[in-house]
Amino acid sequence: MPPQTLLDIGSVDLSSTVVTREQIYEVIPHRYEFALLDGFCHLDLQTREMVAYKEVRGDDYWVRGHIPGRPLMPGVLMIEASAQMISYFVKVASPHDGFMGFGGVDNVKFRGQVVPGDRLVLVGKMEEIRPGRRAIGVAQGLVNGTMVYEGRITGLMV
């Protein structure tokens, strides 16, 4: 049985957008194929909680080759989308120069599939922020309320 979500997802309006893609671009550098967030529907700097989303489209660059005839979003892209969500949070909560890169991923589990047409909802909670040095956050991915992914991500300033 999957663990509980990091926050009560029923308390979040998943149809709202509190941070747009353009606002994400103002904070983190990812572009083109690697801009993996379409927006945030919840961002709480006090509780260190966030909910972001990615609309998975049939024309995403990986669809053609990642299992032809049965496209599945690669797990590594779910991790990357979560890392972008955490990076955005850290840069807004604790502004500093520099780029947050991967320092590690731990306790990752994939529990379901993500396919074109899905909305991947990413739920995150920060465990630690050391401004200008490192940040650790826990992330979960949901599709239609079902957990498809979870993991712990460490980011380092590079």
pLDDT score for 96: 83
Give the lowest-confidence range in 44-58, 92-106, 121-135: 92-106
Q: Beta-strand (E) ranges in 24-91?
A: 39-44, 49-55
- Do the Cβ atoms of 21 and 38 come closer than 8 Å? yes
CATH number of 9-157: 3.10.129.10
Global pTM reads 0.97
Looking at residue 132, its pLDDT comes to 87
Give Cα separations from 127 to 9, 40, 48, 93 (angstroms).
19, 19, 8, 13
Domain parsing of the chain, residue ranges = 9-157
Establish whether 66 is a catalytic residue. yes
Which pLDDT score is estimated for 98? 84
Catalytic choice (30, 42, 66, 96): 66
User: pLDDT (tens digit, 9 = 90+) per residue, 19-41?
Assistant: 999 999 999 999 999 999 999 99
Does the pLDDT of residue 152 top 80, yes or no?
Answer: yes
Strand spans (E) along 28-145? 39-44, 49-55, 100-110, 119-130, 134-143
